[in-house]
Structure formats: C-alpha cells, structure tokens
A and B are shown apart, each in its own frame.
Chain A
Amino acid sequence: MTDEPSLNLFQQQEANRRRTFWLMVGFVAFFAWLGFGGDYIYHLYTLRAPHQAYHHDFPWFGIALSLVALLLAWYAYKTGPDKVLWSTGAREVIEPQGPKEQQLVNVVEEMAIAAGVPRPRIWIVDDPDPNAFATGTDPLHSHVAVTQGLLDLCTRDELQGVIAHELGHVKNLDVRLMTTLAALVGAVALIHDGATRFFRGGGGGGGGGGGGSRSEDRKGGPLLLILLVAWIVSWLLAPIIAQLLALGVSRKREYLADAMSAQFTRNPLALASALQKIEGAEAPTEHIKRGAAHLCIADPLGRRLTDHEGLFADALATHPPMAKRIAILKGMGYAQLKKEGGAVS
C-alpha cells in the first residue's frame, strides 16, 4: 500500500500482480481459518462426549469453506469486471449514438494510442453525476466507463484527461487488483450473510437438542475459550476488514494515475479542470454502489471525509483530497508552461 511514484511501470505491474495474488491467498486463508478453526473448536468441544455420541474428528467445515473460498476467489477474479459493470447498470457503446458518444469513442481510441494499450471496451453509466472508472484483468481485457454526466459536463480536452487517468489504471494493472478486491468484498459479504443465517438456524436447533450434554462437559480449558473468542471476532470483523482493504488500496494510486494521465496527454491542466468540475458537482453518483467506490476517479459517495488528510481520513476515505490532486496537477501544468516558455527565450 506504499506505492512510490518513482517505481517504474514494470515494477508497478509486478507489484499489482503480486498484490492481487496475495489478496486471493489471504482471502482463501482467512476462510480456511474460519473453517478449520471452527472444526477444531468443535473437536475440542466433543472430545469428552460420551463414547456413542457424535465426535467431530474430520474437519468438514474447514474443507468445505476453503473450497468455497477458493472457488469464489477464482470466480471473483474471472468475472470481477462483469460484476462491477453489472452493478453500475452500465451499457456498452458499440454503435455510438450522437456526436457526444462518437467523441467519447474517439477520445478513448486516441488515449489508447497515447498509452500504447489496446482499445478498451467503452461503457456509459446513465447517471447525471460526473464520474468515471476502469475495470478489467489486464490491458487486453479492460473496460472504461464514464457517466452521462461526465459526457455532458466536460470539454473534449477534459474528457481526454479523465480517460487518460483511467487508462493509467489499466496500464499499470491497478484494475486487476481493484476489480478483484471489489469482487472479493462482495463475496465476503455474501458468505458472511449466508453463513450467519446458516449458523443462526442450525445453532438454534442444536442448542435445544444438545442442552443436556453441554452441562456435563464444559472443560475445554482456556485454549478453547481463546480460540472461540478469536474465531467469533473474525466472523464479525470479516466484512469490515474487507471494506478497510478496499479503502486503503486505492488512495495512493489516484495520484499515480493522475501523473500518468499528464504523461499521456501532456496536458495536466485539462485533468485539473475536469477534477474541479467533478468536485463541483456535489451530488453522489447513485448508480455506483459502495462496493465499487474505490474504482472511480472521484469518490462516488460524495463523502466529506475525502476532503481531509490525516490518520482518520487515511484509514477511511477511498480517495485522496481532491484539492491536493488539483494542486499537484496545476503545479505540473505551470512547470510545463514555464519550460516551454523558457525553451524559446
């Protein structure tokens, strides 16, 4: 999470590949812990049960949960982009309708040339709030989506800056990490809800039937207690941890993608003015839900937190403060103007 802008492109891509891999490993490991931990606790619990009663010796939960998590991680990686696009209700631009869409297609093709990546597939989200995001697994399978509001509000140059920013994410493989993360956050929520429901149903039934044996053998010792507490805390915290990961992973990347946009367009001031317009439109982007927020160029939820820096905001905001991004871009723009002026005189 400490991206240094000085890393070159190859290192960025490598870091993103590695992070995606470890993210998926961590995801599976976490569910393996939940499963096998549960097995072990249940095993300790049934250890002293009468001979003919049920003994939990084979780790069914662990194996089942690990398999489910593995399948989900693979599924999330494969279908992440589709899921993200589906969740925003975006429609693909195949035959551009009208001059604005033609311009969008042209701009995307131009910026793909400038970035040296294949042309991504283009999508429009029917939302009046200006915003944009990119998703995909690699430059060959990538998607760029903009809202109708962005199309209506931005000039050609500003649109170029925004698209170049998104292609920056595509080129350094941010999209892979961020999309997989979005899909996994969704999967965690899903498993968590499902499992909670299952345990509530199952636990209620079991509590009634096993009441007699429980009072006899409650001597699992402190180990059982500690395990049980850690295990329950893990269950409760799973969705929160996933959310925090999603928040933390994207902030530094925005500065980097801004810089890449400036490199592709050689026009940082256009992106600065686009960001100003996006910032000026206060309304949240309603079509983009919490799960995909970290993919966007600007925080779609319109949280005031994004305006601040510091420990609290660092932990909870998905995006760096807009004012700072704009200031950095303007700095680049003026430096460029000065250089051009200086080269002549």
Chain B
Amino acid sequence: MGPLIFLVLLVVVAGWLIAAYNGLVSLKNQTLNAFKQIDVQLKRRHDLIPNLVNAVKGAMDFEKSTLEAVIQARNQAVKVNAAGPEAIKQISQAENALSSALSRLMVVVEQYPQLKATANISQLQEELTSTENRIAFARQLYNDTATQYNTKQQQFPTNLVAGMAKAQTADLWELEDKAERAVPQVDLSMKPKA
C-alpha cells in the first residue's frame, strides 16, 4: 500500500508542477502580447497626428503654440525607441506628454464652434477619441494582465516554480500625467454621472 500512495502523491505533485509552470508561461506571454498591443495603438496615434494637424492648421491661425506643442510631443514620442528595463518608463513619459498636448488641443478645438462645425474635424475628433480610448484600454489590459502575472509568481506555492519558469516582475504602465493624476472632484451627493 505504501508505494502506491507514494506513487499517487508523486503523480499529483508532478501534475501540479506542470500546471503551475504552464500557467506562468501562458501569463507571461499574455503580458508580452498585451504590451505589444499598446505599441500598436501608439503607432496608430503617431500616424494619425499629422492628418489632424493638417486639418486644423488652415482653420487655426491662432493658438499656434498649442499646435506646435502637439507636433513636438509627437516627434519626441516617435523618437523614443528604448529597450531594456527602462523602456516602459521612457515610452510612457513621452506618450503621456503627447496625451496632454493632444487634450489641450482638443480643448482649444472645442472653444471654436466654426472649427468644430467642419465635418472633417468632427470625424478626426472621433478618430482621436477612439485612438485615445484604444491606448487607454490597451494599457488597462496590459496592467491587468501584468498584475495577474506578478501576483501569480509571488504567491505561494506558485512562487516555488517561478524561478524555473523564468518569471520576472512585469512593470506596470504608470500614469505620470499631471492632468490624470489631478485630484478628482469628489461628489458626495451620490448622483450618477450624467
């Protein structure tokens, strides 16, 4: 009876080892894939901005500085080609700068109804909203997946396999933007947001 129990135990432990190892590898690849998704969406934004700038340039002789800030931030973001552990930090810094420049531009566009009335602009506005959303959702998916991955590899007993699966803590995509960090208005009336 003794050897049989031992054998069963061995099979159970081996099965768990395989499952835990494979789970970690799968999560690692999901995290990498989610990161690539952010990249794809950022490229999309970089390609969109020249169109946007061309569309508003003719109608916007005023507020030149806002427009230039966008162009500059975009070129800066395209240039960042970092690799290694600092990559996420550098990319996210450049992209967050671009995000805030863009949101400033959109605020300006909102202020000029004749500009907004152009069909071209509202179409671009939709595109830009969508692109910003895509980046935000890609970032959210990455952070969710990375958090899941990090938690898994640190938790007992999966952490025993983490070394074998070459699991490393994945960096989260931080919000460095001042606007996004800003204190939200606290509404104590408990009314739903309109």
CB of B123 within 8 A of CB of A269, answer no
Q: Is A109 part of the contact surface with B, judged by Cβ < 8 Å? A: yes
CB < 8 Å: which of B129, B141, B187, B192 contacts A113? B141
CB < 8 Å: which of A113, A116, A330 contacts B134? A113
CB of A334 within 8 A of CB of B126, answer no
Q: Is A106 part of the contact surface with B, judged by Cβ < 8 Å? A: yes
Residue-wise interface mask of A (324-345) relative to B, using a CB-CB cutoff of 8 A (1 in contact, 0 not) = 0000001001100100110011
CB of B184 within 8 A of CB of A344, answer yes
Residue-wise interface mask of A (228-264) relative to B, using a CB-CB cutoff of 8 A (1 in contact, 0 not) = 0000000000000000000000000000000000001
Q: Who on chain B is nearest to A164 by CB? A: B137
CB of A110 within 8 A of CB of B130, answer yes
CB of B184 within 8 A of CB of A99, answer no
Interface of chain B residues 99 through 140 with chain A (CB within 8 A): 122-123, 126-127, 129-130, 133-134, 137-138, 140
Contact of A341 with B141 at beta-carbon distance under 8 Å, contacts A102-B126, A110-B133 already known: no
Q: Is B193 part of the contact surface with A, judged by Cβ < 8 Å? A: yes
CB of A103 within 8 A of CB of B126, answer yes
Q: Which of B122, B133, B190, B193 has the most CB of A within 10 A?
A: B133
Q: Which residues of A contact B188 (CB under 8 A)?
A: 341
CB of B141 within 8 A of CB of A109, answer no
Alpha-carbon separation in the docked complex, A266 to B138 (Å): 13
Contact of A110 with B134 at beta-carbon distance under 8 Å, contacts A103-B126, A269-B192, A330-B192 already known: yes
Alpha-carbon separation in the docked complex, A110 to B140 (Å): 12
Alpha-carbon separation in the docked complex, A195 to B41 (Å): 55
Q: Is B186 part of the contact surface with A, judged by Cβ < 8 Å? A: yes
Alpha-carbon separation in the docked complex, A333 to B122 (Å): 30
Alpha-carbon separation in the docked complex, A111 to B141 (Å): 10
CB of B130 within 8 A of CB of A106, answer yes
Residue-wise interface mask of A (259-288) relative to B, using a CB-CB cutoff of 8 A (1 in contact, 0 not) = 000001010010011000000000000000
Q: Which of B34, B186, B187, B188 has the most CB of A within 10 A?
A: B186
Q: Which of B122, B127, B192, B193 has the most CB of A within 10 A?
A: B192
Q: Closest approach, in angstroms, between the C-beta of B8 and any C-beta of chain A?
A: 24
Q: Is B37 part of the contact surface with A, judged by Cβ < 8 Å? A: yes
Residue-wise interface mask of A (94-121) relative to B, using a CB-CB cutoff of 8 A (1 in contact, 0 not) = 0000010011001101110111100000
Alpha-carbon separation in the docked complex, A94 to B135 (Å): 23
Q: Which residues of A contact B140 (CB under 8 A)?
A: 114, 266
Q: Which residues of B contact A214 (CB under 8 A)?
A: none
Q: Is B183 part of the contact surface with A, judged by Cβ < 8 Å? A: yes
CB of B184 within 8 A of CB of A113, answer no
Q: Which residues of B contact A266 (CB under 8 A)?
A: 140
CB of B187 within 8 A of CB of A111, answer no
CB of B186 within 8 A of CB of A99, answer no
Alpha-carbon separation in the docked complex, A341 to B184 (Å): 7
CB < 8 Å: which of A113, A115, A264 contacts B41? A113
Q: Closest approach, in angstroms, between the C-beta of A326 and any C-beta of chain B?
A: 10
Q: Which residues of A contact B127 (CB under 8 A)?
A: 106
CB < 8 Å: which of A107, A273, A345 contacts B186? A345
Interface of chain B residues 67 through 95 with chain A (CB within 8 A): none
Q: Who on chain A is nearest to B192 by CB? A: A269
Alpha-carbon separation in the docked complex, A111 to B129 (Å): 13
Q: Is A91 part of the contact surface with B, judged by Cβ < 8 Å? A: no
Q: Closest approach, in angstroms, between the C-beta of B23 and any C-beta of chain A?
A: 9
Interface of chain B residues 1 through 54 with chain A (CB within 8 A): 30, 34, 37, 41
Q: Which residues of A contact B187 (CB under 8 A)?
A: 337, 341
Alpha-carbon separation in the docked complex, A115 to B30 (Å): 12
Q: Is A156 part of the contact surface with B, judged by Cβ < 8 Å? A: yes
Q: Closest approach, in angstroms, between the C-beta of A33 and any C-beta of chain B?
A: 38
CB of A341 within 8 A of CB of B186, answer yes
Q: Closest approach, in angstroms, between the C-beta of B118 and any C-beta of chain A?
A: 13
Contact of A116 with B141 at beta-carbon distance under 8 Å, contacts A340-B184, A341-B186, A344-B184 already known: yes
Binding site for A on B (CB under 8 A): 30, 34, 37, 41, 122-123, 126-127, 129-130, 133-134, 137-138, 140-141, 145, 183-184, 186-188, 190, 192-193
- Sample (13) of A-B pairs whose CB atoms are under 8 Å apart: A99-B122, A103-B130, A107-B130, A109-B130, A114-B137, A114-B138, A114-B141, A115-B141, A116-B145, A269-B192, A330-B192, A337-B193, A341-B186
Known: A110-B134, A330-B192. 15 other contacts (CB 8 A): A102-B126, A103-B126, A106-B130, A107-B130, A109-B130, A109-B134, A113-B41, A114-B138, A116-B30, A116-B34, A116-B37, A156-B129, A264-B137, A266-B140, A345-B186
